[in-house]
Structure 1
């Protein structure tokens, strides 16, 4: 799990690197889900990293799905003011901003057509 996580973290930039990072993050998550309790903090880290990568790839719906999974795990483990939860909520806000922006752009396109 840790090796795939580190490989994915090192990837990034162009589409090929994003695809490789996605595969590594998904592999890390699969390993963690097999070897750790579903509510382990490392599982939340995997969901967070997937959310961040999907945000970078402009896949906002999937980013939102992953960040919600991360928050669900973290809220079972930590208090509301824990730094990990605050960091995750900040990423959630970025994702929601982009989802709202995309929705507004789509609505404006319909109004001008």
Structure 2
């Protein structure tokens, strides 16, 4: 339902009861702090989320062995907040701590490791270290390829991430290769008017635009617009963005 203020109210009531009934380092308090942190994330309040995630983590550090999976979750949560705040060096520090625990606890092709590699890749991308981002996105992708059927939507996300890094590296032809792989999966997996297909057309169109193939770019942007007009309200920012893109490409033709 997304009523985060109500959720926060009840989690805080629960916390007050637990704080009176339990010792200050009890694991149930860590769970309470973690729940409140997650609500603040959903409310977009990163600083409050960080405060409660750190309270949760301090309890877990004292209560659990250093390689316990709950600590990996805790490091990951804190890393995610720093990532949202744009503090990439701190995000990387905590994502790597989470990853070290997962590497020891899990088999090498476990899907949780793919998530971990993906998080690290995203931070490197944010830092502008595209070769590192590509390295970790590819590690994530190799795990997904082994674990998932070839037309699984998660593989489409993976191809898309790699395509975006190639865009950032200025390699449009490689970006196009991966964007098209992503699109082929989405076409099979989604209904024809799904907004994710519009995003996919848009990504491919922008790549053709970069390559100077304006007629291809225009054709794909028009496909994206047709989908968005069927699935979104007329004043939606995504429709405005694609309309602007169409005008921009037409001026260059």
Matches of 1:29 and 1:50, distance apart in 2:
9
Q: Tell me which residue corresponds to 2:122.
A: 52
Matches of 2:75 and 2:96, distance apart in 1:
8
One of 162, 183, 196 as aligned partner of 1:92: 162
> Number of residues paired by the alignment?
99
Q: Tell me which residue corresponds to 1:78.
A: 148
What is the CA distance between 1:83 and its match in structure 2?
A: 2.0
1:2-58 deviations in Å (ceiling 9; x for gaps): 1111111111344xx211100111111111100011100000000011111111110
SS in structure 1 opposite 2:108?
Answer: coil
Higher relative contact order (CA 8 A, sep 6+): 1
Per the normalisation by structure 1, the TM-score is 0.82
Q: Which runs of 5+ in 2 are unaligned?
A: 1-71, 172-253
Structure whose CA Rg is larger: 2
Q: Which runs of 5+ in 1 are unaligned?
A: 102-113
Matches of 2:153 and 2:129, distance apart in 1:
25
Matches of 1:6 and 1:83, distance apart in 2:
24
Per the normalisation by structure 2, the TM-score is 0.38
